[in-house]
């Protein structure tokens, strides 16, 4: 596709450092932009590839679709674009800014760094109707796998990238039904949730409470990029239904175990794999 590491080394040598310093300064005043930028890049790449289609504003664009309503960090990309236009007019694409910002966001939360191939072109098409390509939080493992495979990603990429929820938050509205109206059980509680965990999350997201209230997706360390998200799945403390299901399907469960370094299985280093899968996200 013509991207390569260091695409701007001659045409805009400070491009990567400008993006980094803008992300850093926004992060200092509002740390929640780190998960925001990671998620925005994922939502960009999953629809028409990493082409900044997610940034296009207007009626019936991707931004207006349900899965994208809570995205955050647009102002960070705008800021970086403004600075880059001053430094190197017309050179750096918005899609590259977003890809670099997602990497920098992971680094700021103590996650790994990786080299980001650059040279993406910005797209001009953005359709809300295309966002059905994004995975949903009630989806089966088969459906999740299919959506990743449709984008050239493997089951291992799926499990690794979903580990990105080691940082960030979710609104109560996306999982309260697991606590109060799960319809396959008499008491309304999703049986895959650890019983010792239920009252804690019920307190965080009260019945008939404010659905827009936000809680950590990784209740162990919501601000730190680590393997605690996978530990939660093992312990029945996954927040979203689609995430906890990674522990019920045999193939995804084995990958979670490998990412956790369970003895007897071929270990996968989450930090290394995450960087690799993030690069693949764009292929």
Q: Indicate the annotated binding residues.
A: 44, 47, 49, 51, 53, 62, 135, 165-166, 218, 226
96 makes contact, choosing from Ca ion, ligand HEM, none, with CB < 5 to 8 Å by partner type, with none
Give the nearer residue to ligand HEM in terms of CB position, either 28 or 85.
28
- For residues 152 and 150, what is the distance between their CA atoms, to the nearest angstrom? 6
DSSP-based three-state secondary structure for 59: coil
Quick check: 107 and 41 in contact, CB under 8 A?
Answer: no
Give the nearer residue to Ca ion in terms of CB position, either 113 or 251.
113
Quick check: 100 and 19 in contact, CB under 8 A?
Answer: yes
φ, ψ for residue 53, nearest 5 deg? -60, -25
- Binding-site members for heme b are 165
**Nearest distance, CB of residue 182 and Ca ion, angstroms:** 25
Give the nearer residue to Ca ion in terms of CB position, either 1 or 224.
224
- For residues 169 and 175, what is the distance between their CA atoms, to the nearest angstrom? 12
Give the nearer residue to ligand HEM in terms of CB position, either 21 or 32.
32
**Nearest distance, CB of residue 157 and ligand HEM, angstroms:** 9
Quick check: 38 and 105 in contact, CB under 8 A?
Answer: yes
Binding-site ranges for ligand HEM (CB under 6 A): 32, 35-36, 38-39, 42, 70, 72, 135-137, 144, 161-162, 164-165, 167-171, 174, 217, 240, 242
**Nearest distance, CB of residue 135 and ligand HEM, angstroms:** 4
HSE (CB half, 13 Å, CA atoms) of 208?
A: 0
Binding-site ranges for Ca ion (CB under 5 A): 44, 47-48, 51, 53, 166, 218, 221, 224, 226, 228
- Binding-site members for Ca(2+) are 44, 47, 49, 51, 53, 62, 166, 218, 226
**Nearest distance, CB of residue 236 and ligand HEM, angstroms:** 18
Identify whether 26 is a catalytic site residue. no
User: Token pair of 82, please?
Assistant: 């403004």
In DSSP terms, which residues pair with 117 in a beta bridge? Answer: 5
117 makes contact, choosing from ligand HEM, Ca ion, none, with CB < 5 to 8 Å by partner type, with none
User: Token pair of 170, please?
Assistant: 């979710």
| Residue 61: its H or E element | none
**Nearest distance, CB of residue 190 and ligand HEM, angstroms:** 15
Give the nearer residue to Ca ion in terms of CB position, either 59 or 186.
59
Catalytic residues, by residue number, are 43
């Amino acid at each position: 596709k013509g991207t390569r590491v260091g695409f701007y080394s001659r045409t805009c040598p400070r491009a990567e450092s400008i993006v980094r310093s803008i992300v850093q300064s926004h992060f200092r005043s509002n740390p929640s932009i780190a998960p925001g930028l990671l998620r925005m890049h994922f939502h960009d790449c999953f629809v028409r590839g990493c082409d900044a289609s997610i940034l296009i504003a207007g009626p019936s664009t991707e931004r207006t679709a349900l899965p994208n309503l809570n995205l955050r960090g647009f102002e960070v990309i705008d800021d970086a674009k403004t600075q880059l236009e001053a430094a190197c007019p017309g050179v750096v694409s918005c899609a590259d800014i977003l890809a670099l910002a997602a990497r920098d966001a992971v680094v700021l939360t103590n996650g790994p760094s990786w080299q980001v191939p650059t040279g993406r072109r910005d797209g001009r098409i953005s359709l809300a109707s295309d966002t059905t390509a994004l995975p949903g939080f009630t989806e089966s493992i088969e459906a999740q796998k299919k959506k990743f495979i449709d984008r050239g990603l493997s089951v291992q990429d799926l499990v690794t990238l979903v580990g990105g929820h080691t940082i960030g938050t979710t609104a109560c509205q996306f999982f309260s039904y697991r606590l109060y109206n799960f319809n396959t059980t008499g008491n309304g509680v999703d049986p895959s949730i650890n019983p010792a965990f239920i009252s804690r999350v019920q307190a965080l997201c009260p019945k008939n409470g404010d659905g827009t209230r936000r809680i950590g997706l990784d209740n162990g360390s919501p601000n730190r990029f680590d393997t605690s998200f996978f530990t939660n799945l093992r312990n029945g403390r996954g927040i979203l239904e689609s995430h906890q299901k990674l522990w019920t399907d045999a193939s995804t469960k084995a990958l979670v175990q490998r990412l956790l370094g369970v003895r007897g299985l071929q270990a996968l280093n989450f930090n290394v794999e995450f960087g690799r899968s993030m690069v693949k996200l764009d292929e």
